[in-house]
Amino acid sequence: MEDEVAVLLANRSSPSSAIVRMNSSAEGNMSYANNSDFQQGIASATRKARRDMAAALYRALGRPATLAIADLGCATGPNALLMVSDAVEAVLAENSKGGGEAPPQLHVFLNDLPANDFNAVFRLLPSSPLASAGCLVSAWPGSFYGRLFPDASLDYVVSSSSLHFLSKAPSMATEHLNRGRVFVSASGPAVALEAYRAQFHADFLAFLGCRAAETRPRGLLLLTFVARRGARPTAHDCYLWDLLADALMDMAAAGLVDEDRVHSFNAPYYAPCPDDLARVVAKEGSFAVRTMQLFDITRRRLFRPTASLPASNKLRDDDEELPQWMAGETAGTVRAVVEPMLRTHFGWAAMDGLFCRYRLLLEAYYRSKATKNKDDITNVFLVLEKKQR
């Protein structure tokens, strides 16, 4: 799932150098494992389609004796086995409808970067559907922007909430080109957007090229990640990063972080539009697009009532405590994912103050008349089928 995706800057003088990980279980309440409900909601939105495609693939391949399933960016925590478990259950349910043939031998490959806590993932196995199904499970550490698996070894590949993170921050031709911002902004310079787009195109092209070598003909890639609807990002597309930049600039004005370090920092992240995706898929050439569906996810459906808002009450946009709750939950998720890269660039001591400011800015955004309770995030569900040469 949401991949070990937050980026830890390896060299303070070179923001494009990156080692990747997220807040670990040692971070307690701030860990990714305790702040991944939103990512689970994203995965749930595609669950039926993914299960249907796993069953259909099993039928289309002639109900084979073996099937290889991989999750790229499995991370840790309660979502780590979710995607592969869905596929396994769907294949076994389809097998049970057949003429009594033995269930297929299912090979399950869990990929993430080497810093991922695979031991924590393996501790989830005994109580998972993978154990009862007799799956052969293994970990494959490494970046999915490079080769991971043998040639023609995979049938069904999933990745959720991972591919919006780049292999590195884009190179900017001019120092401090993106002053006061940490990502592209609706009002930012076009050259910054083009630099981000170019880095995504290069990374996604590398990703597809590697998967083309590793996937068997007719195999599927089922990819879900943050996207946007238009070629030019809107203010809402960028608000999470814009508000984080505003919080950092507030810290700089107070002398708590160095302003030059804010100007020099660019997050290794990009939310592509459909044209970005279509161009790269066509350029690489090994896959046909089966599905390219945009959908929006909001935290409001995850709202947990409190004593002042009983569970029997229906959630309304005019509930006074909703913006505060949304701001706290959003800040917690963002912190769990991006804090490692921020604390390495700006220092450990700045983090509590930064995310306190960030939460307050988020709450103001969710209370504003123009953006009241508007926390929806656009994602793309992209399904690619390996062409038969």
Residue 290: per-residue pLDDT: 98
- Domain ranges within the chain, ordered by starting residue: 7-233+267-300+376-386
Q: Quote the pLDDT of residue 39.
A: 82
Per-state percent for the chain, helix, strand, coil, to nearest 5: 40, 20, 40
Q: Are 35 and 73 in contact (CB under 8 A)?
A: no
Given a cut of 60, whether residue 220 has pLDDT beyond it is: yes
Strand partners, 136: 107
pLDDT band at 300 (very low <50, low <70, confident <90, very high): confident
CATH value of 7-233+267-300+376-386 in 3.30.1330.10, 3.40.50.11540, 3.40.50.150, 3.40.50.9100: 3.40.50.150
pLDDT tens profile 252-265: 999 999 999 999 89
pLDDT in tens, 179-212: 899 999 998 899 999 999 999 999 999 999 999 9
pTM of the model: 0.89
Q: Which residue has the tokens 């995504």?
A: 200
pLDDT in tens, 159-174: 999 999 999 999 876 5
Which pair of tokens denotes residue 251?
A: 């810290």
pLDDT at res. 150: 97
pLDDT at 27 > cutoff 80: no
Q: Is the pLDDT of residue 15 over 80?
A: no
The Cβ-side half-sphere exposure at 305, using a 13 Å CA radius, reads 10
To the nearest 10 degrees (0 to 180), the angle between helices 351-367 and 322-346 is 150
**pLDDT of 14 above 60:** no
Task: Give the three-class secondary structure for 235.
Answer: coil
pLDDT > 70: percent of the chain: 85
